[in-house]
Amino acid sequence: MTEKSVELVEGLVVRAPASGRRTYSKSAKQALVLMCQRPGVSVASTALAHGINANLLRRWITKYGREAKGSPKSVPSLVPVSMVSTPSRPPDSVIEFSFMGATIRVLGVVDVRALRTVLDCLAQRA
């Protein structure tokens, strides 16, 4: 298996106090974000090579990636939507009933007179 080398960014950690909460250089963070935006670059391996958590690097990508692309930090503008009227059609309906142990289901738009005729014929046979 071939091993891919990761380009290292110098000067990432500005301050590393004993408490463990490090401070990072903004320019180095932006350089890492630009590096991760290149095709074929793994965010996880880049983070590992620089001794940071991949989730932290992903947060930087979200924050600084927008700035690098020149897009605003605000919510994107809405797209105008217009309503187009369509010819109305009656809603599809279902009539279901049981007769002599069988279930009869009538789908779609039903003519009331035709249904009445069918029901009358079935009632006479019962």
Q: What is the pLDDT of residue 90?
A: 60
- What confidence tens digit (pLDDT) does each residue in 30-42 have? 989 988 888 888 9
Q: What is the pLDDT of residue 2?
A: 45
Sequence letter at residue 105? R
Q: Which two tokens stand for residue 75?
A: 């919510």
Residue 37 CA: distances (Å) to CA of 8, 30, 47? 15, 11, 13
Q: What is the pLDDT of residue 88?
A: 64
User: Which of 115, 114, 107, 113 is closest to 91 using CA atoms?
Assistant: 107
Q: What is the pLDDT of residue 1?
A: 40
- In terms of pTM, does the model score above 0.95? no
Q: What is the pLDDT of residue 48?
A: 92
